[in-house]
Amino acid sequence: MVAILNNHSLPIAMALALSVTYLLHFSLVQAEHKGGFSVKLIHRNSPLSPFYNPSETPSQRVTNALQRSINRVNLFGSTNLLPSLNDPESTIVSDKGEYLMKISIGTPPVEISGVADTASDLTWIQCVPCSSCYKQKSPLFDPKNSNTYKVVSCPSSQCQSVSGTFCSEDTCHYKRFYRDRSYSNGIVSTETITFNSTSLGQTVSLPQIIIGCGHNNSGLFNEDGSGVIGLGRGSMSLISQMDSSIDGKFSYCLVPAFSPLNSSSKMSFGNNAVVSGAMVVSTPLLSGDLKSFYFVKLEAMSVGRKKLQYNSTLMPIAPGRGNIIVDSGTTLTMLPKDFYNE
């Protein structure tokens, strides 16, 4: 999901789909090496997923993924896009074209699954009491059962650091609206987030992480998930809040949705996120109109032996700026209509 914080449309060439098999390495800052960890990422359509539905046919899964991608690209506000066919670690599960990331919230920890979203910043979950919530299979998180849950007060620097907040009775509230009319409203809080590291064989806990405790949520959210895990570039994303412990580095490797039972995706943090070797290639992360997104630059595409140079006049950008966002929540790659027609 891409949060809408203003009325500007994104000057992007496409949304880059990431539910295919390749490795992406994000290195946001350069610093001395620190320990790292890894967690699993699981695609919904994988037999490893607890949400796997064996009764669905392959065509039904593709149809669901297609519709989900079209819904997501509409978040960008463009009508000119068409689909083309101690280092931490975390597990990711596929969820109808998206990947679910398992984390635990609170003390004692309660496991939840949220959409791993590189196009969102604020991490939020559905909480008790819920005045209006979308249906989810797992129990709602109850802050009263956690010893480490704390409401962010108003006014405070923590409240001001989260965009779209307002104060009511000395409590910091947030509102998140998405261009597909989905939304989440609730209270800005701090809580302990725990990862079950697959690389360390133990848990990794991060105290006082700013999250949203959603009490009024609705829209195109799936009942298998409990909210959104914000992995974007903004200051309040989970990655940015973990910066001092992971040197701002994370990477993920996404295996196909229908991989063998012993295959799983992973997200790695810190030292574990460093990708190296003779066959490794990279492309720079560039700036864009919105700071929350990871932009790269599309130069060309090949169809068979024919190379199609991307015509920057279709959507001109300034030098050193990107024209594609990397979106872990989109199944299909979306292209501008004129370029797609070529």
DSSP states along 84-111? ---B-EEEEEEETTEEEEEEEETTTTEE
AA identity, residue 334:
M
Residue 285 predicted with pLDDT over 80: yes
Mean pLDDT of the chain: 77
Residue 97: predicted pLDDT: 60
Q: Is residue 280 pLDDT above 60, yes or no?
A: yes
Per-residue model confidence (pLDDT) at position 69: 63
pLDDT at 70: 64
Contacts of 306 (CB under 8 A, 6+ apart): none
Find tokens 């907040």 and name the residue: 165
Burial zone of 303 (CB within 10 Å; 0-12 exposed, 13-18 middle, 19+ buried): exposed
23-37, 62-76, 137-151, 218-232: which has the minimum mean pLDDT? 23-37
| ∠ Cα 312 317 322 (to 5°) | 100
Q: Residues near 107 by Cβ (< 8 Å), separated by ≥ 6? A: 146, 147, 148, 192
pLDDT tens digits, residue range 14-55?
Answer: 555 443 333 444 433 333 335 677 777 766 666 666 556 677
pTM comes to: 0.76
pLDDT at 89 over 70: no
The tens digit of pLDDT for each residue in 111-129 reads: 988 888 898 899 999 999 9
Q: How far apart are CA 37 and CA 90, in angstroms?
A: 8
- Burial annotation 182-193 (CB, 10 A radius, 16+ → b, else e): bbbbbbbbbbbb
Is 157 in a helix, a strand, or coil?
helix
Kindly indicate the confidence band of residue 141, based on its pLDDT and cuts at 50, 70 and 90: very high
Question: Which region among 63-77, 125-139, 276-290, 324-338 has the lowest average model confidence (pLDDT)?
Answer: 63-77
Q: Which CATH superfamily hosts domain 37-77+92-272?
A: Acid Proteases (2.40.70.10)
- Please give the average per-residue pLDDT across 86-110, as a whole number: 74
Could you give the maximum distance between any two Cα atoms of the chain, in Å? 64
Mean pLDDT (whole number) for 272-276: 88
Confidence of residue 149 (pLDDT cuts 50, 70, 90): very high
**Length of the chain in residues, anyone?**
342
To the nearest whole percent, how much of the chain has pLDDT over 90?
28
What are the residue numbers of the active site? Answer: 117, 327
